[in-house]
């Protein structure tokens, strides 16, 4: 081990040795250029990894030369004192005796101080690049000797706290966690103590210095929104425990809900909101830039460097969300980390696809809704037309029945007239026959009722009342049809036979329209048998009950349906009659289907056509007689 101040002779020998070695390496241009990086701290700190990443990315040397990096660690937080430093310096001199570094990079204030103290042991003219040193550090160290260059960083404590207080206007307390046992922690403590007054009386400043970590976390745990925490982290706590500053910040963060701000980029990983700083990676890049120029042969005094590395506000996007800090409140040039990409940014194509599908679906649904409305309108107007058509068809039927009905009315009118004549004769004869007169008046009244019944039925058929959907007894409708058509049957010399079961059937619908269907079927049957002998002019209406529905057959003994297939007779305008319209059966089918039933036709084996109308039973609410 060499003494701290080696004897002159020994130093001269050493320097001489180093110079000779250096000269021999320089002449071999294809040899890698050695660069020694001396870190203030221990190995593997997150800050070092970041610095190293930036440094290596930019450590390019002109003319394709290679750089060989050598790293040394002072570990100044844990080891210090004159003996340690002397031993280390001796060790380094010996270690690098064969291999004179072309440039020495010192990272952090302690490494810079070490280099300053031991610069006489460096080969003459070796340039030193400092990094991770603040303007404040440089101010305390005084002017640097020739050959020492670097880009200092700005002071970050004040701007970070200023920004934090702007973002948390409700905060009444500023809690700063520091330590003093280790020198580099103490430097922070001194800076905080020097600057803290500027934040009062806006907030009460509480400096937690040198507390055991357990006490620090206990104190922080009690804080809420009323406080803002700032820490540069520490290497050794009040209980004497060493830790990385990152670990100290992690412990604090886990304990408190209050927003926390820090001094270094690495603390973002620990969960702080953010802070002003020059991140270690860009400091590494800056140092590499200086090294590159020196290796290219530029004398240190001519290397062009900025006066300081600007600090930028860095924030964790997730913490911004947590504390409700809007991005609009970020200062210019703020760097946002850990921003969760929005769905749009992450899956733009998928989102576009999904939006497209949604738009398509919306258009489709819109189209369907319009279509449905149109259909509703169409249905309503079809129903209206159907009813009007049905009414028109009933008028036609009424016209067809007019002759028979006129005859039907004529009969009671004739009887009334002759009864009146008889009564007059009795009165003129002067014979008192009150019994007979009473009998005659009763006959007149009965005939009058008969005539008015016929007119009533005709009127019913001609009515254009709105279509109803009410429970109606099908057997009653069949009976009414029989009464309406009996005169016509008589006029045509036909027989109308009606069979109804003992139990009556209720269906849901419109009495007049169902009547109309049956009248149509019977009149067609009369037509089909018009030219046949009397024996075949019988038309039978049969009502039959089934499990779910009730059917009405109208059968005749005519020639049967000649159309193929037989269902064709239900087509509109299909007719085989000279003056036929071909609408009766198509209207009948529409009416039956509107009643949720069906109608069909078949030719009977023994001749003639059988039309069958089937209607479902009305489902009645118990005890009400109304449709359920």
The nearer residue to ligand ADP, 206 or 567, going by C-beta atoms, is 567
User: Which part of the chain contacts ligand ADP (CB under 6 A), choosing from 86-94, 113-121, 249-257, 568-576?
Assistant: 568-576
Total residues at the site for ligand ADP (CB under 6 A)?
20
Q: CB atoms < 10 A from the CB of 313, how many? A: 19
Binder to ligand ADP among 265, 266, 524, 551 (CB under 6 A)?
A: 524
Binder to ligand ADP among 156, 187, 258, 525 (CB under 6 A)?
A: 525
CB of 609 to ligand ADP, least distance (A): 4
CB of 379 to ligand ADP, least distance (A): 24
Instruction: Supply 469's token pair.
Output: 């959907």
Q: Is 576 in the site for ligand ADP (CB under 6 A)?
A: yes
- Please work out, in degrees rounded to the nearest 5, the angle formed at the alpha carbon of residue 413 by the alpha carbons of 408 and 417: 150
Closest by Cα among 252, 8, 259 to 120: 8
Binder to ligand ADP among 216, 320, 477, 585 (CB under 6 A)?
A: 585
Closest by Cα among 334, 313, 186, 339 to 261: 313
Q: Is 395 in the site for ligand ADP (CB under 6 A)?
A: no
The nearer residue to ligand ADP, 317 or 574, going by C-beta atoms, is 574
CB of 599 to ligand ADP, least distance (A): 11
Q: Whole-angstrom Cα distance, residue 246 to residue 268?
A: 10
Before 277, cis peptide (omega within 30)? no
Q: List Cα–Cα distances, 566 to 394, 523, 539, 558, 571, in angstroms.
A: 24, 18, 19, 15, 10
Instruction: Supply 595's token pair.
Output: 């009643």
CB of 485 to ligand ADP, least distance (A): 14
CB of 388 to ligand ADP, least distance (A): 17
CB of 538 to ligand ADP, least distance (A): 13
Before 201, cis peptide (omega within 30)? yes
* Helices of type H across 28-134: 46-58, 82-95, 109-117
The nearer residue to ligand ADP, 467 or 581, going by C-beta atoms, is 581
CB of 567 to ligand ADP, least distance (A): 11
CB of 587 to ligand ADP, least distance (A): 8
Closest by Cα among 300, 5, 344 to 146: 300
Backbone angles phi, psi at 23, to 5 degrees: -60, -40
Site string for ligand ADP, 594-613 (x = CB under 6 A): ---------------x----
Q: Is 574 in the site for ligand ADP (CB under 6 A)?
A: yes
Residue 388 pairs in a beta bridge with none
User: Which part of the chain contacts ligand ADP (CB under 6 A), choosing from 225-233, 398-406, 466-474, 555-563?
Assistant: 555-563
Closest by Cα among 119, 118, 134, 124 to 100: 124
The nearer residue to ligand ADP, 213 or 524, going by C-beta atoms, is 524
Binder to ligand ADP among 399, 577, 593, 619 (CB under 6 A)?
A: 577
CB of 588 to ligand ADP, least distance (A): 7
Q: Which one-letter DSSP state was computed for residue 297?
A: T
The nearer residue to ligand ADP, 304 or 578, going by C-beta atoms, is 578
CB of 605 to ligand ADP, least distance (A): 15
Q: Which one-letter DSSP state was computed for residue 197?
A: G
CB of 561 to ligand ADP, least distance (A): 5
Residue 35 zone, left/alpha/beta (φ > 0; ψ -120 to 50; rest) = beta
Cβ–Cβ under 8 Å, residues 550 and 614: yes
Identify the helix (H) or strand (E) that includes residue 129. strand 128-131
Binder to ligand ADP among 106, 528, 614, 618 (CB under 6 A)?
A: 528
Binder to ligand ADP among 174, 569, 592, 615 (CB under 6 A)?
A: 569
Q: Whole-angstrom Cα distance, residue 613 to residue 40?
A: 105
The nearer residue to ligand ADP, 428 or 606, going by C-beta atoms, is 606
User: Which part of the chain contacts ligand ADP (CB under 6 A), choosing from 177-185, 247-255, 521-529, 543-551?
Assistant: 521-529
End-to-end Cα spacing for the chain: 111
Q: Is 581 in the site for ligand ADP (CB under 6 A)?
A: yes
Q: Whole-angstrom Cα distance, residue 501 to residue 611?
A: 18
The nearer residue to ligand ADP, 41 or 541, going by C-beta atoms, is 541
CB of 524 to ligand ADP, least distance (A): 3
The nearer residue to ligand ADP, 67 or 583, going by C-beta atoms, is 583
The nearer residue to ligand ADP, 159 or 582, going by C-beta atoms, is 582
Collapsing DSSP to helix, strand or coil, 507 comes out as strand
The nearer residue to ligand ADP, 404 or 519, going by C-beta atoms, is 519
Cβ–Cβ under 8 Å, residues 136 and 153: no
Collapsing DSSP to helix, strand or coil, 375 comes out as helix
Q: Whole-angstrom Cα distance, residue 223 to residue 391?
A: 87
Q: Is 580 in the site for ligand ADP (CB under 6 A)?
A: yes
Site string for ligand ADP, 466-505 (x = CB under 6 A): ----------------------------------------
Q: Is 556 in the site for ligand ADP (CB under 6 A)?
A: yes
CB of 552 to ligand ADP, least distance (A): 14
Instruction: Supply 343's token pair.
Output: 């769905």
Residue 470 pairs in a beta bridge with 509
Q: Is 584 in the site for ligand ADP (CB under 6 A)?
A: yes
CB of 455 to ligand ADP, least distance (A): 26
Beta pairing, strands 227-231 & 204-209: unpaired
Q: Is 398 in the site for ligand ADP (CB under 6 A)?
A: no
User: Which part of the chain contacts ligand ADP (CB under 6 A), choosing from 91-99, 212-220, 369-377, 523-531?
Assistant: 523-531
**Cβ neighbourhood burial of 215 (10 Å; 0-12, 13-18, 19+):** middle
The nearer residue to ligand ADP, 411 or 542, going by C-beta atoms, is 542
CB of 401 to ligand ADP, least distance (A): 14
The nearer residue to ligand ADP, 429 or 579, going by C-beta atoms, is 579
Q: List Cα–Cα distances, 572 to 395, 467, 575, 587, in angstroms.
A: 18, 22, 9, 8
Q: List Cα–Cα distances, 103 to 238, 301, 302, in angstroms.
A: 39, 14, 15
**Maximum CA pair distance of the chain?**
186
Cβ–Cβ under 8 Å, residues 228 and 199: no
Binder to ligand ADP among 229, 252, 561, 614 (CB under 6 A)?
A: 561
CB of 533 to ligand ADP, least distance (A): 16
Q: Whole-angstrom Cα distance, residue 292 to residue 305?
A: 12
Could you list the residues that contact ligand ADP (CB under 6 A)?
A: 520, 524-525, 528, 556, 558, 561, 569, 574-577, 580-586, 609
């Amino acid at each position: 081990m060499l003494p701290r101040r080696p004897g002159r002779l020994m130093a001269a020998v050493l320097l001489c040795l180093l110079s000779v070695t250096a000269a021999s390496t320089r002449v071999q241009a294809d040899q890698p250029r050695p660069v020694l990086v001396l870190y203030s701290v221990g190995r593997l700190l997150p800050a070092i990894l970041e610095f190293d990443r930036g440094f290596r990315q930019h450590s390019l040397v002109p003319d394709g030369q290679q750089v060989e990096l050598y790293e040394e660690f002072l570990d100044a937080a844990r080891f210090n004192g004159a003996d340690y430093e002397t031993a280390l310096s001796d060790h380094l001199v010996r270690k690098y005796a064969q291999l004179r570094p072309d440039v020495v990079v010192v990272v952090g204030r302690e490494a810079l101080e070490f280099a300053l103290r031991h610069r006489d042991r460096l080969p003459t003219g070796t340039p030193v690049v400092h990094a991770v040193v603040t303007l404040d550090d440089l101010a305390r160290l005084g002017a640097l000797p020739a050959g020492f260059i670097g880009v200092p960083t700005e002071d970050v404590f004040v701007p970070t706290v200023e920004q934090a207080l702007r973002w948390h206007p409700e905060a009444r307390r500023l809690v700063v966690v520091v330590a003093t046992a280790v020198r580099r922690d103490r430097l922070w403590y001194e800076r905080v103590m020097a600057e803290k007054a500027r934040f009062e009386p806006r907030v009460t400043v509480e400096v937690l210095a040198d507390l055991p970590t357990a006490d620090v976390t206990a104190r922080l745990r009690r804080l809420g929104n009323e406080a803002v925490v700032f820490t540069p982290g520490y290497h050794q706590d009040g209980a004497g425990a060493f830790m990385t500053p990152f670990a100290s910040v992690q412990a604090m963060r886990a304990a408190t809900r209050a927003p926390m701000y820090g001094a270094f980029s690495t603390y973002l990983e620990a969960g702080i909101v953010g802070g002003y700083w020059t991140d270690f990676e860009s400091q590494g890049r800056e140092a590499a830039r200086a090294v590159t120029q020196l290796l290219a042969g530029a004398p240190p005094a001519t290397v062009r460097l900025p006066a300081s590395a600007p600090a930028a506000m860095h924030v964790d996007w997730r913490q911004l969300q947590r504390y409700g800090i809007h991005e609009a409140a970020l200062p210019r040039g703020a760097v946002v980390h850990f921003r969760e990409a929005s769905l749009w940014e992450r899956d733009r194509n998928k989102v576009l696809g999904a939006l497209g599908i949604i738009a398509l679906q919306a258009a489709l649904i819109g189209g369907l809704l319009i279509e449905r409305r149109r259909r509703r309108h169409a249905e309503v107007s079809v129903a209206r037309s159907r009813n009007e058509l049905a009414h028109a068809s009933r008028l036609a039927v009424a016209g067809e029945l007019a002759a028979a009905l006129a005859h039907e009315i004529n009969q009671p009118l004739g009887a009334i007239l002759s009864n009146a004549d008889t009564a007059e004769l009795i009165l003129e004869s002067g014979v008192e026959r009150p019994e007979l007169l009473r009998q005659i008046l009763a006959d007149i009244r009965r005939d009058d009722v008969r005539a008015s019944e016929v007119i009533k039925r005709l009127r019913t058929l001609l009515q254009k009342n709105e279509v109803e959907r009410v429970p109606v007894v099908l057997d009653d409708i069949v009976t009414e049809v029989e009464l309406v058509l009996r005169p016509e049957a008589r006029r045509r010399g036909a027989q109308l036979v009606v069979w109804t079961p003992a139990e009556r059937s209720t269906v849901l619908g419109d009495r007049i329209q169902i009547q109309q269907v049956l009248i149509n079927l019977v009149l067609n049957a009369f037509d089909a048998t018009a030219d046949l002998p009397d024996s075949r002019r019988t038309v039978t209406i049969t009502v039959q009950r089934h499990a779910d529905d009730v059917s009405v057959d109208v059968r005749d003994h005519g020639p049967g349906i000649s159309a193929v297939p037989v269902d064709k007779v239900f087509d509109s305008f299909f007719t085989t009659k000279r003056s036929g319209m071909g609408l009766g059966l198509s209207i009948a089918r529409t009416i039956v289907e509107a009643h949720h039933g069906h109608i069909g036709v078949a030719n009977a084996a023994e001749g003639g056509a059988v039309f069958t109308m089937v209607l479902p039973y009305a489902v009645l609410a118990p005890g009400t007689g109304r449709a359920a």
